Chains A and B, each alone.
Chain A
Amino acid sequence: MAKVKGDIVIDIEKCKGCELCIEACPQESLETSRQVNQKGYLYIVKIEDNCTGCVNCALVCPEGAITVYRKVDKKKEHVAKITNVTKDINITVNE
């Protein structure tokens, strides 16, 4: 089952705390922080880890402060590479 995972990075110094991204987010991942940035605005923080990378918040942000990342995990596969033992071993675990 493909799993979509998104994440955002907010440039807190550019954010003016207008909250339009909060309104636009269908996942309700965003909230106003209790802290101000250098310009004195209450900037936005991501409070939930349920972002889908839908880009809505970045589209409505008047400051262009949000960068959105999205990754689709087709198959969950973890690869561990161990280099600090006697010889290199590659282990692949499929879930």
Chain B
Amino acid sequence: MNEKRMIEEDQHFEDVIAEESICIQENIVYEKPDTLTDTPFHYCPGCGHGVAHRLIAEVISELNIQEETIGVAPVGCAVFAYNYLNIDMTEAAHGRASAVATGIKRVLPEKYVFTYQGDGDLAAIGTAETLHTCNRGENVLIIFINNATYGMTGGQMAPTTLPNMKSTTSPFGRDIATMGHPLKMTDLVAQLPGTYYVTRQAVHKPGNVRKAKKAIMNGFKYQKENKGTCFIEIVSNCPSNWKMTPRESNKWLEENMIPYYPLGDLKIPNVKEN
């Protein structure tokens, strides 16, 4: 009888174990990629930079090119990107990331070279470098985070700020007559013959995150084909400077940013070859 009870108890114990033991290595379906360091991000809660960093790290881990990748960090909120990605990285002067990447790629053509830039860096001070890099068709990947504001310096109007959008330097909303139109960098570079793959993605919803990852994966893979610049815009949020909670900011992004910056591929390789 005693034996029987022990068996029952053990059975119960095993049941409990069977119920609870799913958190084991073999059942992992998602974990932080090893290319991402353990350093906590300095970004504000809910900021899309974190997701974008993680996707780049995932792609690098999956392609197993950690040793062959060189990143160029921008000036802006993502200025410390090199702290989070466990690869070789360098810092560029404000806006000059694509020029620095050009130099690196020309000296080390077998490496995967990418830049990570915000809209203040890429679309304002770095417009010339960006357009000329794309026009020359350098074999680098440019990842452009567009959150329609100057995040790091406190929410001033950026070239990408939407019409009537308030910022600290356009407190009554961006007036098109005096402040000009939002600059669609991605549409511009898609016109240049030097670009090979141009796409616009977002990272505010699980489905978009999956698509953005695929785009980044393509961007890295196409570099081996040596056919031109790959340019990936990621429409992102800035809850702090939009003065919203992260959830509100993603809703606002969906309702306002995406109609102005529609998602999708602007130039894909086989279209170009036709």
Checking B10, B36, B206 against A80 with a beta-carbon cut-off of 8 angstroms, the contacting residue is: B10
Checking A17, A67, A91 against B30 with a beta-carbon cut-off of 8 angstroms, the contacting residue is: A67
Q: Is B200 an interface residue (CB 8 A)?
A: no
| Chain B residues within 8 Å of A, Cβ to Cβ | 3, 6-7, 10-11, 14-15, 18, 22-24, 27-33, 36, 40-41, 43-51, 54, 203-206, 209-210, 239, 245-247, 250
- B27 and A60 form a contact (CB under 8 A): no
Chain B residue at minimum C-beta to C-beta distance from A85? B3
- B246 and A18 form a contact (CB under 8 A): yes
- A63 and B31 form a contact (CB under 8 A): no
Q: Is A79 an interface residue (CB 8 A)?
A: yes
- A7 and B23 form a contact (CB under 8 A): yes
A20-B250, A63-B40 known; A55-B27 Cβ under 8 A: no
- A16 and B30 form a contact (CB under 8 A): no
Provide the residues of chain A in CB contact with B40, threshold 8 Å. Answer: 13-14, 39, 63
| Chain A residues within 8 Å of B, Cβ to Cβ | 5-7, 9, 13-14, 16-20, 23-24, 39, 41, 53, 55-56, 58-64, 66-71, 78-82, 84-85, 89, 91, 93
Provide the residues of chain B in CB contact with A56, threshold 8 Å. Answer: 206
Checking A59, A67, A78, A82 against B32 with a beta-carbon cut-off of 8 angstroms, the contacting residue is: A67
Provide the residues of chain A in CB contact with B203, threshold 8 Å. Answer: 60
A18-B246, A20-B250 known; A78-B18 Cβ under 8 A: yes
Checking B14, B15, B41, B205 against A62 with a beta-carbon cut-off of 8 angstroms, the contacting residue is: B41
- Once bound together, how far apart are the Cα atoms of A91 and B44, in whole Å? 54
- B32 and A62 form a contact (CB under 8 A): no
A18-B246, A60-B206, A69-B22 known; A82-B30 Cβ under 8 A: no
- B247 and A24 form a contact (CB under 8 A): no
- A62 and B48 form a contact (CB under 8 A): yes
B261 CB to nearest chain A CB (Å): 19
Provide the residues of chain B in CB contact with A63, threshold 8 Å. Answer: 40-41, 50
B115 CB to nearest chain A CB (Å): 21
Q: Can you report 10 residue pairs joining A to B where beta carbons are below 8 Å apart? A: A39-B40, A56-B206, A59-B51, A62-B47, A62-B51, A64-B33, A64-B36, A64-B50, A64-B54, A69-B22
